[in-house]
């Protein structure tokens, strides 16, 4: 070692020093060299804080990927911007047969794929038929076609879909229509080639893919021939951020223009900042406190290990009386949400249900105490009530350990229930552990929630008898294990009702029925928290209107309607202090080079002296 090292050091010492100086100078000079950018037109930069799995619309299941599908492909119909109701897109109109089993869509003519070929009903028929015949094509949106019998295109402007049973979401099939001439030759839809621009890039939506760098960014150019008219920006970029704090910082520094999925702390920190506008939109998700009322599987056998005391509706009522949903919105959500009512969030105003004054179980700890007292649960000397068998009222409360929302709610609920003589043992766990437990009823109280669709069917279906798991604990899609004849009857009625107003009536009655049985407490609907650079963009089209989300949409309205601020206002990032940085950089380079020379001189003289 010694010999080698000495030789090496003698030879390389001088070079190493010079090399180090050069390297340092290069590092310092990098920020000066960078402005070599191919910048053009008005660009909308969106911070993307969730992952992309595929560009292939058949296999793209993550929300960011389906969003890319929305920006690039047209659908038969899409929820409109105003009320998130079915509105014409590729289909100009649609008519169900009287038995609601055959749906005929009139396809718009004159729409073109980005390679110039016309979009016809045959493309739509191909898309659905591929999903019916190819398992891989069902990866992302298979549930929409599970009930289809045949899909045909008698001519270029007519699409006919026959279903095996009545399907309520036929006017909102969330399936991107792909070009037949591109996708038909592809045999394996899982092949990596289906994620390339040559395949997934041929599209007919408001934006067209131009570049995809996995794990980094996606670039789109505006579709100038889009049938609704060209978007107001020339380019759209989705920039991947793995850390939301870094994304917030990028918005502050003007590196991105729009950001969503903020938490309440980040949101409030952006409020009132120069050039930034915040947007708190009603959310599509409900949060709940599920109560294990003695749950059963779909053969009505009891499962799980819920505390039997919760079978008593009076105990469930008392718990509901003791949970202050307004306080949860004010304190845990910092006011950025709406107080819960039914399982259809307030954003879907037509189907949302709020208890009337007479139906509402108001927050009232004294009344909750009275309810328990009258039901025969007496307080012991330690303030804890005891049940009929002499057992103390003690409930386990579970939820997501990694969510601050669950932690906050758990604290408040524990305190309130203590006041009415019920001890709560908190046991917040990992997401997987939580879904394992709730899937088989192993909980007393569980903090959870579901994202919902514009159509209320999904949110309601979670509480039907049929959604419960099989006796082996598998196959369930239930949320609450609720099984109630009156509820199921209302659910079936809304499923087949053709009159919109009547259907809305059944949907609301079903929610009222659920509310009155206390299998769960809908706590709130969290707001979708977004912010944008209002110095660069004056307006976005929100969904719904007037108070809706920019990015958290079922549709392309937000990016399609993005309006750059001012005329000719270029949306590229500011370089106001470039001169300052050039000066600083130059000084650093001079100091480093000077220091390096001095050092290497010293080294030389030392060696000379030897």
Partner 1 sequence: MTTPDQAAVLVDPDEHRGGTGTARFVLKKVLEALISIVLVIVLFFFLFRMLPGDPVAAMTRDRVTSPQQIAELREKMGVDKPVFVQFGNYFWDLLHGDLGESRLLNNGRPVADMIGERLWPTILLVGSATLLAVVLGLWLGIRAAWRRDSFFDRSQTGIALTLWSVPQFWLGLMLLVATNGLFPSRGMHSPDAAPDVLSQTLDVLHHLVLPCVTLLAVFYAQYMLIMRSSLLGEMNADYLTTARAKGLRDDLVRRRHAVPNALLPTTTLVFMQFGSVLAGAVTVEAVFSWPGLGQLTYEALHGPDLPVLQGLFTVLASAVVLMNLLAELLYRVLDPRVRTS
Residues 174-203 that bind partner 1 (CB under 8 A): 190, 192
Complex with partner 1: residue 55 or 445, whichever CB lies closer:
55
DSSP 8-state code for residue 376: T
Question: For partner 1, which is the closer residue by CB, 10 or 545?
Answer: 10
H helical segments located in 391-466: 404-419, 431-439, 457-461
Q: Are 39 and 572 in contact (CB under 8 A)?
A: yes
**The residue to which tokens 């079936």 are assigned:** 492
The Cα-based distances of 114 to 130, 197, 360, 555 in angstroms read 21, 12, 54, 20
Q: Which stretch binds partner 1 (CB under 8 A): 214-222, 271-279, 313-321, 389-397?
A: 214-222
* Two structure tokens written together for 586: 């130059």
**Residue list 359-398, contact with partner 1 (CB under 8 A):** none
Binding to partner 1 in span 232-291, by CB under 8 A? 237, 239-243, 245-247, 249-250, 253-255
The owner of tokens 């330690």 is 382
Q: Considering the rule CB under 8 A, would residue 135 count as an interface residue with partner 1? A: yes
Please tell me whether the peptide bond between 406 and the residue prior to it is cis, using omega within 30 degrees of 0.
no
Q: Does 562 contact partner 1 by CB under 8 A?
A: no
Six token digits for residue 48: 């993307």
Size of site (CB under 8 A) for partner 1: 75
Among 12, 27, 197, 583, which residue sits at the site for partner 1 (rule: CB under 8 A)? 27
Q: Measured from the CB of residue 552, what is the shortest distance to partner 1 in angstroms?
A: 15
Residue that the structure tokens 């209302």 belong to: 490
Q: Does residue number 67 form part of the binding site for partner 1 (CB under 8 A)?
A: no
Asked whether the beta carbons of 136 and 58 are under 8 A apart, the reply is yes
Task: Based on the shown chain and the rule CB under 8 A, indicate whether residue 41 belongs to the binding site for partner 1.
Answer: no
Phi, psi of 163 (to 5 degrees): -115, 155
**Binding status of residue 501 toward partner 1 by CB under 8 A:** no
Integer CA distances (angstroms), 527 to 62, 167, 452, 530, in order: 21, 30, 13, 9
Q: What is the token pair recorded at 287?
A: 């949060």
Nearest approach in angstroms of CB 431 to partner 1 is 8
Among 41, 302, 383, 451, binds partner 1 (CB under 8 A): 451
Distance CA 464, CA 472 (A): 18
Q: CA 295, 368, 323: angle at the middle one, nearest 5?
A: 70
User: Half-sphere exposure (CA, 13 Å, Cβ side) for 357?
Assistant: 0
Q: Out of 39, 193, 374, 498, point to the residue binding partner 1 (CB under 8 A).
A: 39
Is residue 579 a contact point for partner 1 (CB under 8 A)? no
Nearer to partner 1, 213 or 485 (CB): 213
Contact between 474 and partner 1 (CB under 8 A)?
Answer: yes
Q: What is residue 124's three-state secondary structure? A: helix
- Residue 143 CB, shortest distance to partner 1, in Å, is 4
Q: Of 206-214, 335-343, 349-357, 393-401, which part binds partner 1 (CB under 8 A)?
A: 206-214
Stretch that binds partner 1, among 365-373, 412-420, 481-489, 602-610 (CB under 8 A): 602-610
| Residue among 184 and 211 whose Cβ is closer to partner 1 | 211
Q: Is 471 in the site for partner 1 (CB under 8 A)?
A: no
From the list 95, 99, 213, 272, which residue makes contact with partner 1 (rule: CB under 8 A)?
213
Asked if 149 interacts with partner 1 (CB under 8 A), we say no
**Dihedral pair phi/psi, residue 530, rounded to 5°:** -135, 165
The answer to whether 327 contacts partner 1 (rule: CB under 8 A) is: no
- Reported as type and span, the H/E element at residue 222 is strand 217-222
Minimum distance from CB of 359 to partner 1 (Å)? 29
Do the beta carbons of residue 345 and residue 462 sit within 8 Å? no
**Cβ at position 253, least distance to partner 1 in Å:** 4
Which of 31, 275, 294, 408 binds partner 1 (CB under 8 A)? It is: 31
Closest approach of partner 1 to the CB of residue 73, in Å: 19
Closest approach, Cβ 194 to partner 1, in A, equals 11
Q: Which is nearer to partner 1, 54 or 352 (CB)?
A: 54
From the list 38, 40, 41, 39, the residue with the least C-alpha distance to 231 is 41
* Two structure tokens written together for 91: 């289909």
Contact 515, 291 (CB under 8 A): no
2 is a site residue for partner 1 (CB under 8 A) = yes
Q: Which stretch binds partner 1 (CB under 8 A): 115-123, 307-315, 428-436, 549-557?
A: 428-436
- 496, 221 Cβ separation under 8 angstroms: no
* Residue pair 178/122 in contact by the 8 Å Cβ criterion: no
Determine, following the binding rule CB under 8 A, whether residue 433 of this chain makes contact with partner 1. Answer: yes
What's the closest the beta carbon of residue 62 comes to partner 1, in angstroms? 8
């Amino acid at each position: 070692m010694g010999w080698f090292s000495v030789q090496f050091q003698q030879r390389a010492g001088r070079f190493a020093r010079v090399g180090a100086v050069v390297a340092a100078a290069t590092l310092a000079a990098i920020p000066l060299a960078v402005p070599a950018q191919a910048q053009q037109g008005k660009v909308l930069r969106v911070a993307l804080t969730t992952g992309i799995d595929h560009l292939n619309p058949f296999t793209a299941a993550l929300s960011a990927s389906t969003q890319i599908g929305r920006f690039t492909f047209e659908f038969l119909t899409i929820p409109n911007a105003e009320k998130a109701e079915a509105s014409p897109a590729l289909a100009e109109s649609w008519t169900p047969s009287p038995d609601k089993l055959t749906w005929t869509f009139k396809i718009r003519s004159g729409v073109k794929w980005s390679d110039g070929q016309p979009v016809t009903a045959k493309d739509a028929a191909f898309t659905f038929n591929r999903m019916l015949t190819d398992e891989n094509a069902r990866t992302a949106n298979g549930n929409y076609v599970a009930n289809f019998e045949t899909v045909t295109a008698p001519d270029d402007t007519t699409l006919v879909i026959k279903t095996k049973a009545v399907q309520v979401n036929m006017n909102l099939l969330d399936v991107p229509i792909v070009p037949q001439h591109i996708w038909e030759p592809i045999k394996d839809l899982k092949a990596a080639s289906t994620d390339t621009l040559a395949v997934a890039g041929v599209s007919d939506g408001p934006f067209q893919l131009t570049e995809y760098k996995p794990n980094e960014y996606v670039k789109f150019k505006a579709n100038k021939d889009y049938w609704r008219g060209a978007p107001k920006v020339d380019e759209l970029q989705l920039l991947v951020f793995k850390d939301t704090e870094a994304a917030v910082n990028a918005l502050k520094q003007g590196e991105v223009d729009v950001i969503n999925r903020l938490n309440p702390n980040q949101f409030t920190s952006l409020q009132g900042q120069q050039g930034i506008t915040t947007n708190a939109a009603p959310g599509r998700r409900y949060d709940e406190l599920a109560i294990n009322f003695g749950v059963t599987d779909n053969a009505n056998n009891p499962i799980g290990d819920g505390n039997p005391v919760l079978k008593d509706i009076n105990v469930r009522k008392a718990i509901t009386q003791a949970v202050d949903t307004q306080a949860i919105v004010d304190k845990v959500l910092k006011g950025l949400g709406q107080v819960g009512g039914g399982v259809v969030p307030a954003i879907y105003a037509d189907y949302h249900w709020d208890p009337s004054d007479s139906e509402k179980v108001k927050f009232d700890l004294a009344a909750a105490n009275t309810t328990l007292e009258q039901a025969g649960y007496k307080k012991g000397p330690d303030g804890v009530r005891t049940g009929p068998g002499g057992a103390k009222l003690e409930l386990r409360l579970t939820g997501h350990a990694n969510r601050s929302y669950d932690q906050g709610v758990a604290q408040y609920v524990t305190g309130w229930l203590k006041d009415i003589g019920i001890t709560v043992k908190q046991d917040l766990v990992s997401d997987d552990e939580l879904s394992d437990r709730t899937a088989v009823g192993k909980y007393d109280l569980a903090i959870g929630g579901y994202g919902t669709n514009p159509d209320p069917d999904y949110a309601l279906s979670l509480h039907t008898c049929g959604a419960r798991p099989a006796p082996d604990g598998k196959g369930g899609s239930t949320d609450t294990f609720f099984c109630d004849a009156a509820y199921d009857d209302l659910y079936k009625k809304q499923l087949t009702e053709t009159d919109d107003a009547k259907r809305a009536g059944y949907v609301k009655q079903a929610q009222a029925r659920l509310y009155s049985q206390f299998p769960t407490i809908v706590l709130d609907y969290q707001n979708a928290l977004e912010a944008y650079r209002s110095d660069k963009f004056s307006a976005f089209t929100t969904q719904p209107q007037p108070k809706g989300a920019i990015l958290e949409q079922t549709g392309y309205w937000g990016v399609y309607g993005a309006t750059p601020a001012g005329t000719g206002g270029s949306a590229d990032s500011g370089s106001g202090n470039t001169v300052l940085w050039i000066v600083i950089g130059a000084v650093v380079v001079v100091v480093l080079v000077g220091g390096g020379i001095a050092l290497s001189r010293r080294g030389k003289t030392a060696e000379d002296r030897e």
